[in-house]
Structure 1
Amino acid sequence: MKAEYDFTKARRGAVVVEPGKTRVTIRLDNDVLEFYRGLAEKYGGNYQSAINAALREQMAVQEGALERLLRRVIREEMSS
């Protein structure tokens, strides 16, 4: 270990930033948090990853719903 360190070019903040990840603060209902913590405890992993996976799944559902709606509208317009 050195006797002295030079911190003149030091910066405050996170030491390591994961690419593609953003730290956010979010308020969740207690039962939701308990559910995902329970899943993580039962099956392994962590509850934050489980919540992220659920959100990604919902994104896919929403995207599929929009696609189905657009297809229906196009079919209706083409048949008119």
Structure 2
Amino acid sequence: MRVLKMRDSYDFSKSKPNPYAKKLKKQVTIRLDEDTIEYFKGLAEDKGVPYQSLINLYLRDCAQSHKDLTMKWQ
């Protein structure tokens, strides 16, 4: 087995910016009802994706299609 040793310094003068940096995700805290989380966890398990990714995909779809929320207070 070959062991690599860390150098004392590295040359990044020819490095390029990360092309995906604008699409990095931002961590936020959001409060969701337990039944909502369980719904997405079950759906995510059926689809084979992490539930947080599924929630993100759903919210992104809502934003891209400019879905408008209709609320009726009773």
Q: What is the TM-score normalised by the length of structure 1? A: 0.51
User: Sequence identity, in percent?
Assistant: 47
Offset, 1:53: 0.3
Paired AA for residue 35 in structure 1: Y
Structure 1 residue runs without a partner (length 5+) = 1-18, 64-80
Structure 2: 5+ residue stretches without partners? 1-22, 68-74
Alignment of 1:48-59 (within 5 A): 48-59=52-63
Structure 1 stretches of at least 4 aligned residues deviating more than 3 Å after TM superposition: none
> Alignment partner for residue 43 of structure 1, among 28, 40, 47?
47
Aligned-partner Cα distance in 1 for 2:65–2:43: 21
Secondary structure of 1:27's partner? coil
Larger Rg, first or second structure (1 or 2): 1
Q: Deviations over 1:13-54 (max 9, x none)?
A: xxxxxx611111110111211111001111201000000000
For the aligned residue pairs, the C-alpha RMSD in angstroms reads 1.6
